[in-house]
Chains A and B, each alone.
Chain A
Amino acid sequence: MSNTPMTSVRTTSSAADEVARNSPALSFEGVSMVFPDGTHALNETSFDVRPGEFVTVVGPSGCGKSTLLKIASGLNKPTSGTVTVDRSRIGYVFQDATLLQWRNVLRNVELMAELEGMPKGERRDKALQAIKLVGLDGFEAKYPKQLSGGMKMRASLARSLVLDPSVFLFDEPFGAVDEITREYLNDEVIKLFQLNEFAGLFITHSISEAVFLSTRVLVMSARPGRIVADFAVPFEYPRRPELRFEPEFAALSGRVSHELRGAHS
């Protein structure tokens, strides 16, 4: 399979935007990862994520999907290969909400900006905006132990939004919430994606979540992981929940599923 990125499915953009889109916001080139214990997590993985692209990686569990994000964000260093990304504006949503239990929602949402040294007034304004955007207004003073799983994830999303990320990494963020909540959170992510035009890299093992959210779906093989298939997703944004039940959606999901089965063996 070739590593050349597919043409963007979005057509409504000016020439200036087009130039910006041509240089990737995040680029993996021949990235391999072998952990000190000998686990070969990634093998010569190469792909780009351009601004305005939302790329989802699906793959068998333990195939090194999450490692991609750790390498992209600088938490892990690859054994070989290069990653090109502007790390000053990375948003990262973890599998757990990872809220600080001793901080209320507002102070949690402020955290990233606070660590970045943003002045207090500015970060408070941005945090309040982000909280509103994810539909948590009215809950600013609540502590994590008072929130449901879905609400915690919303707070976690808001926390990353405050830094206005140009690259947004999602590490299977909605794996632990029930299906309806997951669908709402998917809508939320799409809304944020449309408003902020970041480059998204989303890890999941739900095929329908992958197809629903993305402009591109990459399928990863079992360990050592590498990209074995690359699907462009043609559906228009905003994507309505009913899209999940349309034949084109099912057909594409079927093709992704087929590749994924191949990837398992």
Chain B
Amino acid sequence: MTMYAPASKGLAITPPAQALELVGPQKRPFQISRLAGPVVVFALFIGLWYFMHYKGLRLLFDKPGERLIPLPTDVWRATVVSEGTRGDYVSGIGWTAVAAYGGLAITIVLGLLLAVVMLQARWAEGAIYPYLVALQAIPVLAIVPIIYVIFGGSMSARLFVCIMISFFPIVTNALFGMKSVDRSQHDLFTLRRASRWTRLVKLQLPSALPAIFTGFRISAGLSIIGAVVGEQFFRGGSKPGVGIVIEKWRTKGVYPPLWGGIIIACLMGIGTFLVFGIVQRLAVGHWYDGETQKD
């Protein structure tokens, strides 16, 4: 039997032990079953590839799948085993990375600045937003001559295309993040009469970091597309990126190394997306739990 005696508590109040237990997400042990999904889907993908090569394209569209969609093994041989093509692509990856990440860096700086400007007043946001949407909708092909005249036919033009394509997600995500700050957190700063600058630096920007990094991830993938597309239009200079190697094989109508280039571009996009995911986790993972919880 438990006896309950009236406990007289003085000034020293000790919270009960269980109240001080740390809560928080538990690290789940790695499970082999988490690999099963990707493996199955990858197998289906390769299966579909073979099917389209042998039968699918013929059945569905009455077109020669044997020529248009070469087998993975042929793609591998033409892209990786063939030394000349491999060399082209290896140096191509380097130049494409220069265009993509150079463009991305410029986009990040300009995009964040613009988001901060748009944050300052509702009218500024309303006035600028349509142009952002328009920027997304501009067909690059249509303005190629203009870009050519202004930036020349080489790296600067590719950077420009890259910035054009990757700009929107950075601005919108940063703006969304900074606008989503909790009302009472704003009140906290209002109570102490914080300046706009203090509010921006100590509240809005840090609070928006998860959203900003999400924008980075999306834009990072787009910057690879931007660089490759840019290279296809602006082939000048001695900096042949992946897009230029792809163009070479496209004009020749040789499909295995062409597909190799497409896959390389895709892998660059995926790799960049993953790297930014890791950067995001390192930067905000220790405080951000991936939910929209505010306190």
User: Which residues of A approach B to under 8 Å, CB–CB?
Assistant: 73-75, 90, 92, 94-103, 111-112, 114-116, 135, 139, 142-148, 150-152, 154, 180-181, 184, 187-188, 191, 194-195, 238, 240-242
Contacts and interface: CB of A to CB of B under 8 A. Distances in A.
Contact of A184 (B15, B191, B207, B284): B15
B22 A135 contact: no
Given A101-B287, A115-B192, A184 B22 contact: no
Contacts of A73: 191
Main secondary structure of the interface of B (DSSP, over half): loop
A144 B284 contact: no
Contact of A75 (B19, B24, B191, B295): B191
B11 A98 contact: no
Given A75-B187, A115-B189, A241-B9, A102 B295 contact: no
Contacts of A152: 295
B102 interface: no
B11 A100 contact: no
Given A98-B184, A151-B19, A92 B191 contact: yes
Contacts of A146: 22-24
Contact of A135 (B14, B198, B286): B14
B188 interface: yes
Interface in B159-199: 182, 184-185, 187-192, 194, 198
Given A97-B295, A152-B295, 20 more contacts: A96-B294, A98-B188, A101-B207, A102-B206, A112-B188, A112-B191, A135-B15, A143-B286, A144-B287, A146-B22, A146-B24, A147-B23, A148-B19, A184-B13, A184-B15, A191-B11, A191-B13, A194-B11, A195-B11, A242-B6
Contacts of A194: 11
A184 B13 CA distance: 8
A91 to B, nearest CB: 9
15 contacts: A95-B184, A96-B182, A98-B182, A98-B188, A99-B295, A100-B185, A100-B206, A101-B287, A101-B288, A101-B293, A116-B192, A144-B287, A145-B287, A148-B19, A151-B20
B57 interface: no
Nearest to A91: B191
Interface in B1-60: 6, 8-11, 13-16, 19-25
Among B20, B190, B202, the most chain A Cβ lie within 10 Å of the Cβ of B20
B16 A145 contact: no
Contacts of B198: 115
B270 interface: no
Closest 6 CB pairs between A and B? Answer: A115-B192, A146-B24, A143-B287, A96-B295, A98-B184, A97-B295
Contacts of B203: 100
A23 B82 CA distance: 91
A143 B206 CA distance: 14
Nearest to B195: A115
B209 interface: yes
B190 A145 contact: no
A75 B288 CA distance: 29
B115 to A, nearest CB: 18
A139 B19 CA distance: 13
Contact of B16 (A100, A147, A180): A180
B22 A142 contact: yes
Contacts of B295: 96-99, 101, 144, 152
Contact of B187 (A94, A145, A150): A94
B289 interface: yes
A63 to B, nearest CB: 20
A102 B164 CA distance: 32
Contacts of B23: 146-148
Contacts of B21: 148
B9 A187 contact: yes
B291 to A, nearest CB: 9
Contacts of B206: 100, 102
